[in-house]
């Protein structure tokens, strides 16, 4: 089943889906493993696995620190692939890779996408690869049945949104505000107008991320988006309270 169809099916039984994000190898793969176990046990629908990169330009201070520390601890792309294979084999939810284009370029785009398909990855979020520069990537994802997830921003014109949606699949990642990940997002009338423009531009499910950090945020998005994306909040929680705090946090986000 295509990722978009799987998400629509899941959405038919839930008011909103939850997607979480973690940086592979931070603080360790052992902690990643426990965090994912608790996320899945408490109802997370999609997990975004970030392959660390030295200059994660779309990310805020917390995720930049996680990327840098993971790399400093010796995390390699091969380690991330092996870990992702283990998780995708163990849990029956979609796993995605999020990273930057240089990782694919250095590995070999075809080789990387083929390997990802073989281990059960369902799609990719590559923030620094616009479709105009990603012809090979887009062609290969279509051939391999992977979802090349595209990103809308509040600054995107309606024409740009339609162009991006035409190249995308799986879902559209709607960045909730300008800037990088981690800062608080204000949900006001301009945000509602933005989401209405997003909805008009595509029939793909809409995921909203950047600054979604608690139950109130998820409640506000319910009925407006299909997926709420929790990223920095869980990374910060693990750093402050340990992996064991993740389960109850995730369980409290919905309902």
Among this protein's residues, is 59 annotated catalytic?
yes
Residue 111 domain-assigned (yes or no)? yes
Residue 178: the pLDDT is 52
pTM: 0.94
The residue annotated as part of the active site, out of 45, 48, 217, 226, is: 48
Domain that holds residue 206: 3-250
211 lies in a domain? yes
What per-residue confidence (pLDDT) applies to 128? 95
Catalytic site includes residue 86: no
* Residue 238 covered by a domain: yes
Q: What is the pLDDT of residue 55?
A: 82
pLDDT at 182: 41
- Answer yes or no: is 158 within a domain: yes
Q: Which pLDDT value is given to residue 186?
A: 64
255 lies in some domain: no
How many domains in the chain?
1
User: How many C-beta atoms surround the C-beta of residue 71 within 10 A?
Assistant: 16
Token duo for residue 140: 């290969």
Residue 194 falls within a domain, yes or no?
yes
Kindly report the CATH number assigned to the domain that includes residue 195.
3.20.20.70
Counting as low any pLDDT under 70, the low residues of the chain are 58, 177-186, 255
Q: In this structure, is residue 237 part of a structural domain? A: yes
| pLDDT value, residue 177 | 61
Q: What pLDDT does residue 183 have?
A: 47
Q: Which residue of the set 5, 55, 59, 186 is catalytic?
A: 59
């Amino acid at each position: 089943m295509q990722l978009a169809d799987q998400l629509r099916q899941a959405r038919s039984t839930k008011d909103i889906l939850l997607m979480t994000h973690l940086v592979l190898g931070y603080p360790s793969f052992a902690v990643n493993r426990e965090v994912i176990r608790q996320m899945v046990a408490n109802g997370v629908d999609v997990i975004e696995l970030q392959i660390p990169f030295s200059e994660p330009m779309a990310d805020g201070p917390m995720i930049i620190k996680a990327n840098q520390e993971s790399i400093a601890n010796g995390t390699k792309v091969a380690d991330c692939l092996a870990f992702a294979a283990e998780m995708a084999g163990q849990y029956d939810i979609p796993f995605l890779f999020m990273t930057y284009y240089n990782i694919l370029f250095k590995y070999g785009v075809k080789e990387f996408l083929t390997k990802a398909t073989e281990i059960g990855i369902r799609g990719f979020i590559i923030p620094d690869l616009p479709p105009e520069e990603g012809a090979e990537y887009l062609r290969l994802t279509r051939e391999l049945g992977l979802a090349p997830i595209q990103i809308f921003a509040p600054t995107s014109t309606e024409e740009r949104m339609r162009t991006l949606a035409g190249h995308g699949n799986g879902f559209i990642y709607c960045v909730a505000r300008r800037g990088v990940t981690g800062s608080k997002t204000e949900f006001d009338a301009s945000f509602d107008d933005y989401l209405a423009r997003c909805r008009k531009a595509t029939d793909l499910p809409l995921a909203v991320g950047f600054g979604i950090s608690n139950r109130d945020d998820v409640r506000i998005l319910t009925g407006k988006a299909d997926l709420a994306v929790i990223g920095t909040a869980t990374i910060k929680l693990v750093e402050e309270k340990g992996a064991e705090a993740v389960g109850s946090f995730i369980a409290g986000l919905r309902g």
